[in-house]
């Protein structure tokens, strides 16, 4: 099967997580991705370690986000390298950036300059907090964006302070949103023949993540969300919604009518106000669920179509037949290193992208790319 984006050329000028993750998604869909990074050290993400694991000289994070890319080493402040990158972009379909606002323009790689040279180009950018305003110069970093977005006040229970997500959720969501915009712009280009400038930010991604609960807040007098004091899992949902300790693990309970749950737990909760009495009801449920194992409760609740699930850790998830059936893991290679990672979450016509080419070394493909695209065609620069 031909991949949907086969034949598309993407120039990835981004660093860290958000922009490169967007390029990764396009590569998984079949696009050719050329990563432009500084000579020598390359993308800073190469040395952004999540643990003490190093694979072939780079972090696991870099390998995860930059598989199936080619690397062109270029110093954008050096005239020769800048000319090379401009000539490559003249042939590209998509450019992805996550410079701080104003930096791309100062380097001569702003959207207006690039589209003036290549009118069919899609220039896609991620910033921290938008292209202007009082936060424009703040570092566009995931935890800081979480802090500014208000999202931390949805996590944890009422007695907790603000609780951050345990993932780089702003980076990853911004990358996904950028891909959505890029694909929409490509469709428009196919209809009208013109390129586009696509922009989002970490803050916009987190605001969009909260659209459901923010809409409630904007329409109920501006009341702040009230996290449950007991086993909170959603500030706006009533009992029993939450995660509870059992005799041997943890059990998640979703939206379950108290009248249906009461006889199975043998608790006096039927007919009570599931939100107004949320904490008291959840405390009763918590005390009861500790008296049996997770699987015993599942065996009791699921036959009645009551929504519950065990809380898996990663080893348990990886051992589950349901997980293995999805075929969501793969091995990629670089030199002699074999790296286990995930695969694209998207299936098209029943097939999921699986590409075993690992992340490139800095400048690994520079010579080949320069020759292929005749980037030194005027003959005034030589390595």
pLDDT in tens, 295-336: 999 999 999 999 999 999 999 999 999 999 999 999 999 888
Q: How many CB atoms lie under 10 A from the CB of residue 294? A: 21
pTM, two decimals, is 0.93
- Provide the annotated active-site residues: 171
Question: Mind listing the pLDDT tens digit for each residue in 248-284?
Answer: 999 999 999 999 999 999 999 999 999 999 999 999 9
Radius of gyration of the chain (CA): 25
* Cα(169)–Cα(360) distance, integer angstroms: 25
Q: Residue 243: which of 291, 298, 286, 189 has the closest Cα?
A: 286
User: What stretches of the chain adopt beta strand conformation (E)?
Assistant: 9-12, 32-37, 54-55, 58-59, 69-73, 94-97, 122-127, 196-201, 242-245, 250-253, 308-310, 329-334, 337-342, 347-348, 351-352
Measured over the CA atoms of residue 313, residue 314, residue 315 and residue 318, the dihedral's sign is: positive
> Whose CA is closest to 239, among 284, 175, 208?
284
Distances (CA, A) of 301 to 233, 283, 297: 19, 19, 6
Fill in the DSSP letter of residue 334. E
The proportion of the chain whose per-residue pLDDT surpasses 70, expressed as a percent, equals 98
Domain extents in the chain: 9-209+342-372
Sign of CA dihedral 182, 186, 187, 188: positive
CATH 3.40.50.10540 fits 9-209+342-372, yes or no: yes
Q: Please state the rounded mean pLDDT for residues 355-367.
A: 93
């Amino acid at each position: 099967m031909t991949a949907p984006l086969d034949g598309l050329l993407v120039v990835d000028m981004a660093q860290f997580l958000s922009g490169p993750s967007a390029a990764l998604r396009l590569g998984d869909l079949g696009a050719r991705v050329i990563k432009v990074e500084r000579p020598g050290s390359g993308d800073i993400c190469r040395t952004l370690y999540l643990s003490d694991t190093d694979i072939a000289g780079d972090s696991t994070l870099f390998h995860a986000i930059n598989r199936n890319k080619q690397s062109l080493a270029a110093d954008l402040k050096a005239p020769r390298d800048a000319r090379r990158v401009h000539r490559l972009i003249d042939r590209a379909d998509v450019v992805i950036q996550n410079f701080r606002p104003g930096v791309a323009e100062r380097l001569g790689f702003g959207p207006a300059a690039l589209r003036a040279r290549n009118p069919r180009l899609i220039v896609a950018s991620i910033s921290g907090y938008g292209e202007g305003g009082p936060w424009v110069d703040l570092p566009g970093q995931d935890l800081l964006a979480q802090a500014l977005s208000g999202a931390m006040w949805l996590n944890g229970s009422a007695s907790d302070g603000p609780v951050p997500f345990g993932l780089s959720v702003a980076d990853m969501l911004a990358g996904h949103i950028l891909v959505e915009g890029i694909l929409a712009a490509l469709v428009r280009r196919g209809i009208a023949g013109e390129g586009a400038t696509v922009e989002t930010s970490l803050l916009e991604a987190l605001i969009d993540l909260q659209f459901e609960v923010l809409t409630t807040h904007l329409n109920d007098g501006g009341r702040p969300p009230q996290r449950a004091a007991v086993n909170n899992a959603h500030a706006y949902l009533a009992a029993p919604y939450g995660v509870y300790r059992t005799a041997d693990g943890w059990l998640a309970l979703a939206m379950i009518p108290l009248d249906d749950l009461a006889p199975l737990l043998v608790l006096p909760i039927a007919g009570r106000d599931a939100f107004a009495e949320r904490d008291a009801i959840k405390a009763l449920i918590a005390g009861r669920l500790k008296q049996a194992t997770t699987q015993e409760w599942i065996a009791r609740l699921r036959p009645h179509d009551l929504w519950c699930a065990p809380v898996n850790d990663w080893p348990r998830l990886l051992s589950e037949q349901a997980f293995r059936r999805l075929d969501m893991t793969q091995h990629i290679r670089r030199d002699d290193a074999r790296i286990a990672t995930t695969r694209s979450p998207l299936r098209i016509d029943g097939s999921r992208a699986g590409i075993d080419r690992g992340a490139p070394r800095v400048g690994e493909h520079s010579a080949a790319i320069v020759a292929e695209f005749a980037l030194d065609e005027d003959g005034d620069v030589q390595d």
